[in-house]
Each structure stands twice: as structure tokens, then as C-alpha cells.
Amino acid sequence: MTGQKEIKISDIDNLISKGQFKEALTILNNLSQSKPNNPDLFLMGGNCYGAMQSYEQAILCYQEAIKLKPDFSEAHNNISVYLKEIGELEKALLHAKKAVKFKPNFAPAHNNLGVCLYELGRPKEAEISYKRAIALKSNYADAHNNIGNIYKDSGQVDEAILSYKKAIKINPNCSGAYDSLGATYSELGKNEEATAFYGKARGSNKDFEQGLSLFENGNFTEATKFFEKSQHADWKSKTLESHYRAEEYDLFKEKLINFTKNEPHIFRTIAALSAHYAQNLKTDDPYNFCPNPLNFVCHEKISELTENNNQLTNELIKDIKTAGVLKREYQYLSHGTALEQSGGHLFKRSEKSFKKLSTAIIKTIKRYYLRYQNEKNEFILSFPKKITFSSAWSIEMKTGGHLSAHNHQEGWISGALYLAVPKENGEDGQEGAIELTSDFHQYPKLHNEFDKKLILPEVGDVVFFPSPLYHRTVPFKSNEERICIAFDVKHDVKNFGTY
């Protein structure tokens, strides 16, 4: 049509820079009809879909770009990023390697290759890739942050902190580095520093931070006003918990139903509260994430731990004690008892024992899912299709050691497997047991009739449970050690995106 303005790539770039992804996609779709052999159009389409968290659509676009241009390094790199997001790590690694092969001086490709290797538990190779990315681009904040994670997992805490701080110096908005510093200082027992860095990771929203301050001081009703005003981070979950802690049960139920109407799985962090509400008020659970969570506790054996005279168990104990694993200097849940926890992520380390264990647990979790697959709640309906661990750590307890009641809000399914347990478990047979319940001492209670499940584990046992469920260790007097490895499985973005 004469007189019609010709659309340029720079026009689309401008829309993308403004976050107008749907508008950009409309133009790209039209352009691709007239220019079907232009791989750049499909690359840009993939970038739009990726920014909108439509990962599978993004992957399809990048695949089209690669068909047109097999050595398109940027497309290989980007498809690798989103394959990783949906849990296809081996495929992601293949594309990351191609991105590096086709464009050896492309720093983001080396950094992404490092991320893939790290996720696959190959930290030494990941470190090489991160260092290559930094050699190509010294002010690469993400690469400095990522290499900090390698140092932290290997127990090199000072080096990790330096890397995180370098990332922040390069990019003061590097939220991942702030979060990593918060976690590191928390594990070192430096709570003031941890709190400050966690605040910066959240974006330092004044209303949200004021809400947290009021919440922590018990001013729950007032805190809700600031959380709702902030519209920031997990403000909805914090609003719900504030109403409940203020004993405003009707408001809690009303907002819970409203918040979860269109986002049924996103509020799993509040599932423990909802279960507590149901038992506290002796009514049905208004949230169908995981009603009656104790029904989803599973206790079974991991045969690999006891085969060949407990060979794998013995290897794991040796590596926990001798492999230079970072030990947390402080853990608020243990209240100064005889307990030591590892920092970092055990399943991201290079020791073969941790890799073997990770593989064995994944097989067992798949069996767990099959056991419950016909249940009609969001915990099962949106159960991760690809099992990946967000964290894994060891817990060594001696006489008097225990963990107070807590849950793992960031996980989907959590578990603990046992490498050593005391033979003596007290007169009542409960010392050293794990206790699971929806009850929590900080929640208001109208009665004390809350369901509990007590499990006394043996060597080679694993206990799985929904991550929101509260659990604690019953203190024991035996002189023998109690050693376990705890872990969290993360939610699957392939099912419903991120939040």
C-alpha cells in the first residue's frame, strides 16, 4: 500500500525496550509473512515470548530461527536459557555448547553454559565457563554472581562474598547478588547484614519494608495496609498471614478465596496457614492446594543407601565431614543445640556420592507422584514434571540436638533422608523422630486438637512431604550422631510460569 510507513527492526526493538511485547509480536507476525526467511524476526519473537514467560512459544521461535540459520549463536544461547527454565537441562546444555562453538567470543553464551553445567552438578566445568565469560567481559555482573555460588558451595565463603559484591559494584540492581549475600550472611549468623541485603534483593520498596517491620513487631492489622499499598513482592501472601495472625479469620478466608481464584497454585506458601485455619476452625480448607497435607507424607526406603554394606551411605558421611563443605555458623531453628548444618547446595557439588544420591531421590520422587497421581488438588495436578532441586544440605546432630518447627516455603516437595540415627530413642520411643503437623506456635489457636504424624526413621529411610507442612526433630539424649540430608524440589515453571 503506497504511503504506508515501512516498519524497521529498530521500531520493533523500541517496542521491546518499552515492554510492549504483544505489540511487537503483532508486527513480527506480519513481517514474518512477507519475510519468512529472516531468522532475526524469529529471534526477536522468541525474546518477546520469553519476556512474557511463554517459554514453550519462545522455544518454538528459536527453533525456527535455527532452521533458517543453523549457526545462529544467539538463538542457540536463548533456546538454551528457556530449555533450562522448563527443566530440559541436557537439551539446554547441547544448545549452550553450540552457542559457544559458533561464536567463541560471545560472553553471555559462556555464562549460560556455566549455568547449565552448574545445574547439572558439574561445578568445576561451570567455573571454567564463568571465568571465560569474565575474561571476555570483565564487567559481567551475572557471571561474577554465578561464580560466587561456586565458591560458596565449595566452602570458599570469603571469595564468594567478594564475587557477589563485585557483581553489585558493576550492577547496583543485581538482585540475585543481594539475595546471595543475604543467604550467605544468614548462614554465617550475621543477621543484621543478612536482613539488609534481603531487603535490597526485594527492591527496597518502602511500603513493603514498613509492612514487614510492623509484622515482625506484631502489628498485624496495620501491616496489611502497607502490604496492600505496596503491591510488591509476595504482598498477597503477607497480607493473608497478617489477617490470620490478627485473628481476622473472615477477612483471611475472603481474601484467600479472592487471591487464589485465578492463580490456584501460586499461593502454595500460604497452604500451611490455610490447613491450620481448617483445623483451627474445624471447617473445610478454603484453598485446594493441599488439604489434609499429612495424607501426603510418605515414608520409605532408598535401597541404594543400604546396598553393598551401606557403601553409598558411608561415602556420603565421609564427604559431608571431609569435603570442605561450608558449615552454617548459625541456624535460628536449632536454638544453640548440638547441631551443624551445611551451607551451599550439596547436589551442585562435584563429589560422586552426592550425584548418586540425587539420582536415587529423583527415582523415588517419581514413584511418590505415581502413588498420588489421581488426587484432585493443585499439589498433585501441578506436580513438577521435571524433578530439580532448589537446595540440599546436611544436618548433623549430637546429644540434645534438634530442629524447632519450621517449613520450606520456597519448595514444592521437601524431604529428609537418614544416613545415621541413634539406636536409643528414649523411654517413649520418640527421641530423634521427625514430627509433622499443620500446627505452628506463632499461629493463633482456638484449641489444641491439631493432627500430627510422628516418624522414627532408620538408616536408608526417606520422608517426603509437601513443603508448606511444618516439621521438627524431637530432641534426643543418645551419644550417637543423627545425620540426615534434607532437600527441596522446586516448582516446575513449565506447568504454570513463575511469580
| Dist CA 129 CA 140 (whole Å) | 13
| Dist CA 99 CA 106 (whole Å) | 8
Q: What is the CA radius of gyration of the chain?
A: 24
| Dist CA 258 CA 296 (whole Å) | 26
User: Which has the closest alpha carbon to 146: 125, 58, 52, 51?
Assistant: 125
Residues 372-394 have a mean pLDDT of 91
236 Cβ contact list (under 8 Å, min separation 6)? 227, 255, 259, 267
- What are the pLDDT digits (tens) for 345-357? 899 888 899 999 9
- What are the pLDDT digits (tens) for 444-474? 999 999 999 999 999 999 999 999 999 999 9
| Dist CA 344 CA 180 (whole Å) | 10
Least confident of 3-12, 95-104, 212-221, 282-291: 3-12
| Dist CA 115 CA 109 (whole Å) | 10
Question: Domain 9-170 is classified in which CATH homologous superfamily?
Answer: Tetratricopeptide repeat domain (1.25.40.10)
- What are the pLDDT digits (tens) for 413-424? 999 999 999 998
| Dist CA 398 CA 383 (whole Å) | 35
| Residue 172: predicted pLDDT | 94
Map out the domains of the chain as residue ranges. Answer: 9-170, 206-292, 294-496
- What are the pLDDT digits (tens) for 174-197? 999 999 999 888 888 788 898 899
| Residue 335: predicted pLDDT | 54
- What are the pLDDT digits (tens) for 233-266? 889 999 999 999 999 999 999 999 998 887 655 6
Look at residue 411 and tell me whether its pLDDT is greater than 50: yes
Average pLDDT, the chain: 89
The domain defined by 294-496 folds into: Jelly Rolls (2.60.120)
